[in-house]
Every structure is written in structure tokens, then in C-alpha cells.
Chains A and B, each alone.
Chain A
Amino acid sequence: MKKMLFRNTLRSVKNTKSRFIAIMAIIAIGSGFFAGVKSAGPDMKLSAADYLHKQALDDFHIVSELGMDDEDVAAAEKLGIADEIYAGYSADLMFSALDGAEKIIKVYSYNPDSGISKPYITEGRLPEKAGEIFIDEKLFSNAVAEMGGTMSLHTGDDRELEDMLNSSGYTVVGKGLLPRYVSFERGTTTIGNGSIDGWALVPEENFTYEVYTDMYLSIAEADGVDPYSDEYEDIISRSTDILEAFAEKQIEHRKSVITDEAYVEINDAKAELEDGKKELADAEKKIEDGKKELADAEKEIADGKAQIEDGESQIFDAMEAFEGCVRTEQRLKQIISDYETNAADSNEANERIDELNEEFFTVDETLKQLLTGYIMMPAAYDDGTKVMAKQGIDQYITAIHEQADEISLQISEAQEEIDNAKQELSDGEKEIADAKQEIADGEKEVADAKVEIADAEKEIADAEAELAEELDGAEMYVFDRDMYPAYANYAEDCERVDAIAAVFPIFFILVAALVCCTTMTRMVEEQRTQIGTLKALGYSRFSIIGQYIIYALAASIPGTLIGLLIGFNTIPAIIYECYHAMYNQPYIIAPFRWDYAIGCAVAACLCTGLSALFASRQELVSVPAQLMRPKPPKEGKRILLERITFIWKHLKFTTKVTFRNLFRYKARLLMTVIGIAGCTALLLTGYGLQYSVTSIVDKQYGEVFQYDSMVILDTNADDEAYASVVQDSLDTGVISEQLFALQETHDAANSSGEDVETYILVPENYAELDKFIDLHNRVSGETYELGESGVIIGEKISRMLGVQAGDEIHFNEGHPLRVASVCENYTFNYVFMSRADYEKAGFEDEFRSNIILQNMNDLSKEDVLSTKLVGNESVLTVQFSSNGGDKFRDLVSSLSMIIVVVIVAAGALAFVVLFNLSNININERVRELATIKVLGFYDGEVAAYVYRENVLLTLMGTGAGLVLGIFLEKFVVHTAEVDSVMFAPEIPLYCFLAAAALTVLFAVVVNITLYFRLKKIDMATSLKAIE
């Protein structure tokens, strides 16, 4: 390029500052918005990925109902897929907040050596020794705890804290975020009101569990892989298969370990029982023996008594013999003495003998002889003989005496014996009595022992049954990141931002291109004479075009750069700020994205460059002479409206002029209308989208779902337990109606096999459903009642599967069900069906309710119900319609912020477009305006002369924009919609009004600024020659 030409270009930049800046601004807004919005989604994902990577969030979380031991950990290590594993503990506990409220807290074990799922510290430090606690930032924001303060934990129910933690008091040393909590959702629990308020970390050594409760794995292959990429999903799905197999195997291991441990006890108990039984048998035998012995003893005693009696009678006999002997001795001695005294008297002697005869001789022949001999012996007999006889008698007496002595001795001996025997006997009898007592005691003991044994046997049986039950349904769960509260939502939200980003910016770029094109065209037209002069001087076409292209590029490249810098640095940050209210993402990374930047720059350059080329195409083929002559002014023409004379006639002169002028420059008219229409359409889309998104929660929970609370039941519970839930609910006195129902997710498919994930809801009694859910047509309001046959499907399903009332859908290749009607429904794709249809459809499981829909008579008593029901084992959770849509409400609030961004940007765009086009309009007609000023038009009249056109253009553009906006809104709503949600498809009147009003407002502002420009138009311009 020649130096002078280049200088000329530079000067023209200087001389047409406002135009140059306009192009730059429109390019900046277009590219900034495009790049900013477009990169918001990826930036959010990138930031999250970076955060999750830095904090090394686990890829898998394994929870076992039976706990886990070191063997499980070793087995997990042996799988070889994890590069880091942390097995730790967790406990759901309660503590009193600073304001006295009871809060539920999930306490995790912290091991500083574990590099997995590291907490992100926002203040303070991590726990270093036992008794220190690091807590959830969320707990601070609610003024629930304070740094350096003490937290006192308790279980809040009948569990023992000692079974989980060795201490209840902890010092708060820091606060921060845990990567596994992506949002402010903290999950649910079975204690308190069921909703966890926050988490905390305490050192591992504070935990007293015997087994690990949680295991976290970091998959080696997934390190450094973008967690939102397909690659990551692939890795995770592969690892899931491995880990689920692992979990199935390890749960068996746990079962056997627990069984073994339990059976050690059971077996001990059994052995004891056996011993007990044996002892019992021994005891019984002893008792038998004892009884036998007792019988023997009694017999002996009886014998003894008989013997004693014998002895006594013998003694009696002996006494008699002894007394006989004594009497005999004394009689004899007396007889002898009498005899000796009266010796000579033989008569006497005979008498004596007779006496003796009577007394003794019948007794003893020897004595008779002796006595007879002695007494009868005449005194003649020598004394010798007599003496001999006497000696014989004496001997006899002595013998009797001796005999008596002997008998006496015998008696005393016998007596002694008898006494002994009696003593023995009485001892024996006492012993027998004791033995009898003992036997009685023994028998009682045996009876007791038998009861004990029976109890023990029952206990053992119970223990075995319990163990079997505990082990039977026990599972080990493998959770990937999606199971962390709101983890999946984050990605979905990013994608939703992306979806919106896909449409709006393209529109922006289109409008920007339009404006550039108009502006460049105007510029080339203005410089017509100059082009002619340059051509005449012999400059090549290329050099001349080059000027404009350089001008265009000089405006668009810095414009793009400025736009990109602002766009990249602000819009993702703004959108992040919106989502920050919902997500615990501590920071945003907004890199300069070269791909978008280059794309934007190329698009901007092409857009302006091509506009320049397009604008100058005619000038370039014209010969210099043609160009040097002023361009003949565009001819005035009659417009179509004039032919409708009856209207035209009645128009005011000024109106006629306005219409003429409007249709004179059709191209500009078109561009202005398109430009304004674009802005209005964008605004309408913004407002419409905002409405579509924000209204669904209230519509779903206000117009469709009439129930006030939904109780999610534990399906393991039996019918009796179910009934207890109903009773518990009634007991609170706040429930007016209840209905059991089954709610499950199943893929519904149409006849051609396209499918969509749906929630099926089967009320136990289909006729009662209308008290809880209002099924109706969204447009006509016609109410549908669920019948025994024929399902009612949500609108979104109807749309996605292309099925209408009367068509059929089927589940899992099962029996097709007729669609009775299509009802209004926004969140989740509900299919309502009767039990009969459910059973017909061929689902794997039998019908069994898993929820209870409830209507309350006092909505302010939600807490009462919630507290009551959480205490019921069969209740998993209670959801209230008043906050049932919380998740969606959050979604909605974040989206509405994005929409605000869109609206502001659309407004800025509208302003620039209107301003630029009006500016061009004025530039083109400056001579005309100067003339009418000379003719004596007041400033206001001059402005009105232009404004009438602008107003009409604005109205036309707005009208066109509202129509266009309907389509754009539908498209954007459709794009932003996720499968499980239907955004409200209608656009309410206020959106139209707001979009139109804003456009008009921008037009007014632009026109006000124009007023000053018009005022400044120099009348002398009218005197100048036409260029």
C-alpha cells in the first residue's frame, strides 16, 4: 500500500471517529458477548475440574452395610485400578449451634497422610491432633459455630457415642470446603429432621469403630482426565463394573467374617449349653442315686431299729437271767447259811431241800445233786466229804456269780452298743432329712436349669436368625461422583449455560455484522468522489479496496480484542457469581481461550472486511468520471400507500412525508427493522426464557401436584410398618388425606423404539389420585381422571416420543399401554397409571407402594410431621411440596441471573444498533435536514421530522421482533431444556410488553441523544455543493 494512501486511511479513522468507534463497539459487544457466554460453560467446567483435581476428589466411594476391614482394603488395592485408597469412618451426629438450635452434622475421619479428597481450607488449619475439628464453611455462614470454639457432639438418639467416637468435645481449628460437596446440599440422614446441615473432619484416632465405614478410591487412569469428558465417563463405567464385582465379592467376605465372629460366640454358647445339659443329666443322676441311697439308708435305719429292739429285748432277757442268778446266789447263800446255822436239823434240811426243790431243782440238776449231797449228807460223813460238798456248792455259787457278772457285763456292753446304735440311728435320720432337702433342692435346680437351657437355646436360635437376617440383605455400595449431592447438576448447569450460549451470541454476531455492513456501505458511499479521484490518479482497485479493508480491520481487530478481554474476564465471572450462590466452587478460572478468540477475530474481520468489499463493489467497477460526478440523488417515488387514495388523502402532510421517506431507502429500512427486531427478539427471548424457567416450579407444585407432602417409604418394611407410618402421620393431626402409591423410574418407549426416562406413578387406588395430583390439559384446562385402563403421560413425553392420546407406549418391551391423555407436567416425565395397567405392563416387580402422598390441613406444621416421621424406621424421607422444588428453584434462580446478563447485553446491543443506524440516517440526510432548518423548522420540528421515521421503524422492528422472538424463544427454551424438564412453553403477555417497552425505551434514549446531534447540524451545510 502506498504511503499516502495509508496515511489517508489513518486520517479517515481520525476524521470519522464516531463511525470507527461504532464499528469497534459493535464488534466488541458482539465478540465479547459471544466469547464470554460461550466460554462461561467451559470455564465453569474447567474451574470445577481444576478444583476437583487439586483437591483430588475420589472417583469412587464405597460404603458397606457391614463395614469394611483391612482385607477389603487390601483386596481393593489388589484390583490395581486405584492409585490411592483411603478407608475411613463417618458418623451422622448432632450438636448444638451457637444459637441453641440442634444441627445435624456428618463427621468424617481425617488422615493427613491421605492425599484423596483433600479439604479446601478457607480459614484456619486442618486438625493435627485428636480432639480438633475442621468444619464446613456452611456452618459458619449460619453462625452455627465459631473458630476456636468447642463443639459438643452427641448422637441424638439411642446410639452410643462411644461406639463411634472416643470423645464428644472438639475444638474448631478451621473451616473450608470438601470437594465432594459440590453444592450447598449436604444430603440426608436418618436422624433428626433428616437433613444434614454440614460436615466436619476429626482425626482418625478419635474414631472408635471396629471396621471402616467408607472407602474412597482414586482411579489411576482417571488422574488428570477432565471429569466432564467422555473419556472420564468411559473410565468410570469400566471401573464401576470392576468395583461392583469387587463389592459383590467383598460383601461375601464381610458376611463370612461376621458370621465367623458371630459363630464363635454362638458356638461358645452352644458348648456351654451342652455342658449345662450334661451337668443337668449328672445332677439328675446324682439325685436318683441319692434317692436310692436314701432308700437304702432308710432301710438300714429300719433294720437298725429292729436290731436295737432285739438287743433291748436280749438285754431284758439278760437282765432277767442276771437277776435270776443274783437271786439264786443270794438264796443259795441264805440257804447255805441257814443250813449251817441249823445244821443238825435234818428235817429242816429236808424242808429246805423241798424248798430248794421248788426253787431250783427244776432248774438245775447239778445244783440239786450238789445241794442234796450237801444237805442230805448226814453229818456223819466226815467233814471231809462235807467240805467237799460245800466246796462244790460254793463253786457253783461262784459260778453263778460269775455268770451274773458276765451277764451284767454283757448287758452293759449291749446297752452301750444299743446307745451307739441309737446315736447312729438318729444321725442317720438327720442325714436322711438333709439328703431329702438336698434332693428337693437339686430337683428345683434341675428344673431351673432346664428353663435356662430352654432360654439359652432360644437365644442361640434368635442370634442365628438375626445374623442371617443381617447378612441376608447386606450390600456394599459403589458410588461414583454423580452420587455426591448435586455433583451431576453442576455439569448439567454448565451444559445449560452452553445451550443458551449457543443461540444468543450467534444472533449477536449477526446483528453486529448487519450494523457493520450498513456502516461500511455508508462510508464507501460518502467517499465516492475520493474513490473516483484515486482511480483517476491511477491507483489499483486493490489499493483502494485495501483502504476500506484496513479501516474495517483497524476497527474490528482492536474491537475484538477489547470485546474478548472484557468478555472472557467478566461474563464467565458473572455467571460464576450467579452459580456461586448454589455451588461450592471456590474460584473461577477464566483463561483467554485462543480458539474462541481466533474464531471471533476471524468472524469479525470477515464480517467487516466483506461488508467493505460488498459496499464498495459498485464503486469499484464504475469509471472515475462516473464517480467524480455527484451520485444522482435517489429518485423520489410514489409508494404503494398513495394508490390507496382514501387513506392517503386523509393523512397529514408530515405523515405522508414520513411514509415516503421510510420507503425510499428500503435497504436501510430493512436493516433497521431487522436490527431492532433482533434486539426485541433477544429481549423477548430473555424474558420469555426467564418466565419459562422460573414459573415451572410454581406451576408443577402449585397447579399439578396438589399434595403437600410425600413420604418415601423403606420398601424393606412390611405392611404393618407401612400402616404405622400412616398412623404416625395421623397422630400428628396435621394430615387430612393419604394415598399409597408406587413411584419408580422406567424407560418408556414408543412403537418405533425411541425411549425416554420416565417416572411412573401408580396410586394404590386410582380413583383417589385426583385429590393429590391435578391432571389436566395445559391449554384447555380440561381435567383428566385416571381410569383403570389407559395411562396419562406428561406433555414432555408426548413431545419426545411423539405419542398422543390414543397411541401406545410400552416399558421394557412389555405389554403396550394405551395413552388416555396428555397432561400438563413440567418436572420429570411422569406417567400416571392404574395398578391394573401396571400389572399388565409386565414390570419385573409386583406392585408395592413406596410412597405416601399426603394432604395437610395445616401447612405451618411441616416440622411436626417431619420430626414424627423421621423417627419411624420405615420412612426414608419426607418431602414437602412447599420446598419440593428446591432443587429446581435453585436452578431457576441461577438461570434467571444468566438471563439478566442476556437482557443487559441485548439492551446494549439494541442501543448500539439504534444509535448507529440513526446516526447513519442523519449523516445521509444532513443536507435535507439543514435545508428544512433554513426553511424555518424549529428544533423540535426538525427532530419530529426524523423521529416520526424512527418511531415507525422502531414500531415495525419491535413488531417484527416480537414475532421473531416467539420463534427464537421457543428454540432457546427447547435447547436449554433438559430431558427431565419441560419449561413452560407459553410466553405470557408481560414478556411481550417488557421486550417492547425496553426496545422503545432504548429508542427513546437514542432519540434523545439524537436531538442534540440534530441541533448541532450547521445550516450552512445546505449551501455547500453536493459531494
Chain B
Amino acid sequence: MAYVEFRDVYKRYQMGEVTIAASDGVNFEIEKGEFAVIVGASGAGKTTVLNMLGGMDTCDEGKILVDGKDVAKFSTKEMTRYRRQDIGFVFQFYNLVQNLTAKENVELATEICSDAVDAEEVLRQVGLGERINNFPAQLSGGEQQRVSIARALAKSPKLLLCDEPTGALDYNTGKTILKLLQDTCREKGMTVVVITHNQAITPMADRVIKIKNSKVSRVTLNENPVSVDTIEW
């Protein structure tokens, strides 16, 4: 059994009289320690998948298995615990608390997590050892995203979910961030799921899950994922 598994997952929204299926029977698997990329155009339904996988939303039908547990059956409280212990989330717009320093932003996560890593240590790992006491406003976008990643990693999650992690970043910075994510995956054996509309980065992934019209259209396994440095877009 795979580490992460979506089985016939449906998510429908009622828009007036029309029912729209944001997930229309989604099926895919991700193995532990894989660097997976979920790719699709805007509105294809990838964010819905992310929400459900991240424990931010429920599904109407189907099973979402993470490490053997069916997330779809979680109560609200279990869902929160799942987010808290098992999921690290990296946002497109970093979503740092402006009023907290880099370290404090990481601590915001570690405070509530049982087996958390030391905040300063994580920040050093993402290359921000010198800037731990800076406020987000004093950091560049890439640095902020690193804080965001550090915050996610500090919890030692089972899954690192990244929602368009380079979306708000320039090309080079975006690349370094992807590198950081890839390295984290490789070095720590962390299962990383990146959601993006950018087809160009798929070669770096172990597994590429393509979403189209609320369905998984194709799953590609890369035997030999390339390093980020070699990818250009």
C-alpha cells in the first residue's frame, strides 16, 4: 500500500442549481519519500486535491489514505491534529505572521507540535542561520519562503505540501526554493508534494500527477529525476 493514496475521491460544490464536481473521482498514489508534483491548469482541481490532502477540507466520497489512515473519515478535531502533526504546509504567499521574527514564525509551529525540531536548527538548515531574528518585512521573498519551509519542516511532518511555492518568486529564487525542497526530500527522506501549474518543473519529480477537468489524467513516474539546476523555464 502506498504512503498516500486517493481512491475515487469526489468533491462537489453546489453553485446555485448546478452541482460542480471539483474532484470527480480522483485516484493516485504517492510513495513514502517521493518528490511528487501535482500539475494542472488553473481551475483543473488541483487546489481541491491539496485542500483535501492537507486536511483543510473534507471529501464527499472516496478514501484518502495517508500512512494507512483514512483522512476522509477524520472528525474536525482529528483533522486538526493531522494538520498539526503530519502536515507541513508551504504557501504561495508564505503567510508568515508579520509581527513575528523568522525564528518566532517557526516557533509558532513548533509550540504546538510534540516532536518538533529546534527552530534555529531548521532555519540554519534552510540557510537562514544569520537572519533568525529578522521580521518578515526585513526579508526578501525567497528568504520569506525559506522561513515558510522551515516552519513546515520544523514540525517533522509526514507530508510536506507546497502550494505553488515559487508562484510569488522570481525565476532564480524560485529555483533555489525548489532545490531546497528537492534536497530536503532527498536528504531527509521527506515526502514532498508540490502543487503547481508549471509543467516545466515536472522532470525534477519522482512522480508527476497531472490533473485535468477534476480528474487525474495521467500519472508519470520518473526513473531518473533531474536536478533543479538543469531545468529551465
Contact = CB atoms under 8 A, between A and B. Distances in A.
Interface in A241-273: none
A935 B151 CA distance: 9
Interface centre among B89, B95, B138 (most CB of A within 10 A): B95
Nearest to A1025: B93
Given A653-B104, A934-B89, A936-B112, A1023 B137 contact: no
Interface stretch (B78-86, B198-206, B208-216, B220-228): B78-86
A781 interface: no
A1026 interface: yes
Interface string A1001-1027: 000000000000000000110110110
B173 interface: no
Interface string B75-113: 011001111110101011101011111001001110111
A653 B91 contact: no
Interface in A345-393: none
Interface stretch (B3-11, B28-36, B50-58, B182-190): B50-58
B163 interface: yes
B56 A1019 contact: yes
Contacts of A1023: 47, 91-92, 163
Nearest to B50: A1023
Contact of A936 (B81, B107, B135): B81
A661 B99 contact: yes
Interface centre among B57, B108, B138 (most CB of A within 10 A): B108
Nearest to A659: B99
Contacts of A939: 76, 80
Interface in B98-152: 98-101, 104, 107-109, 111-113, 135-138, 151
B111 A931 contact: no
Nearest to A936: B84
Given A636-B100, A931-B97, A937 B112 contact: yes
B135 A637 contact: yes
Given A936-B80, A1020-B57, A1025-B93, A657 B112 contact: no
B147 to A, nearest CB: 12
A938 interface: yes
A653 B116 CA distance: 15
A664 B95 CA distance: 17
A936 B98 contact: no
B99 A935 contact: no
B84 A636 contact: no
Interface string B60-84: 0000000000000000110011111
Contacts of A782: none
A636 B91 contact: no
Interface centre among B54, B92, B112, B163 (most CB of A within 10 A): B112
Chain A binding surface, main DSSP class: helix
Interface stretch (A22-30, A305-313, A627-635, A728-736): A627-635
Nearest to B163: A1023
Contacts of B89: 934-935
Contact of A1020 (B51, B109, B112): B51
Contacts of B56: 934, 1019-1020
Contact of B83 (A934, A1025, A1026): A934
Interface string A206-219: 00000000000000
Contact of A636 (B76, B85, B113, B136): B136
Contacts, number: 94
Interface centre among B56, B57, B113, B155 (most CB of A within 10 A): B56
Contacts of A656: 104
Contact of A928 (B82, B97, B113): B97
Interface in A708-722: none
A936 B89 CA distance: 10
Given A935-B83, A935-B84, A936-B85, A657 B99 contact: yes
Contacts of A932: 97, 108
Contacts of B77: 938
Contacts of B100: 636, 657, 660
Nearest to A938: B80
A1022 B95 contact: yes
A124 to B, nearest CB: 68
A927 interface: yes
Contacts of B82: 936
A933 B113 CA distance: 13
Contacts of B109: 935-936
A417 interface: no
A128 B15 CA distance: 80
Contacts of B54: 934
Given A636-B135, A637-B135, A935 B108 contact: yes
A632 to B, nearest CB: 7
Contacts of A636: 97-101, 135-137
Nearest to A945: B108
Interface string A921-945: 0000001100111111111010000
A654 interface: yes
A933 B92 CA distance: 16
Interface string A636-680: 110000000000000001101100110010000000000000000
B83 A633 contact: no
Contact of B93 (A941, A1019, A1026): A1026
A916 to B, nearest CB: 22
Given A928-B97, A938-B80, A1020-B56, A633 B108 contact: no
Interface in A927-976: 927-928, 931-939, 941
Given A635-B135, A661-B99, A936-B85, 13 more contacts: A633-B136, A636-B99, A636-B135, A653-B104, A660-B100, A935-B151, A936-B112, A937-B84, A938-B77, A1019-B51, A1023-B92, A1023-B163, A1025-B92
12 contacts: A635-B137, A636-B135, A661-B99, A928-B95, A934-B91, A935-B109, A935-B112, A936-B80, A937-B112, A1019-B57, A1022-B95, A1023-B91
Interface of B: 47, 51, 54, 56-57, 76-77, 80-85, 87, 89, 91-93, 95, 97-101, 104, 107-109, 111-113, 135-138, 151, 155, 163
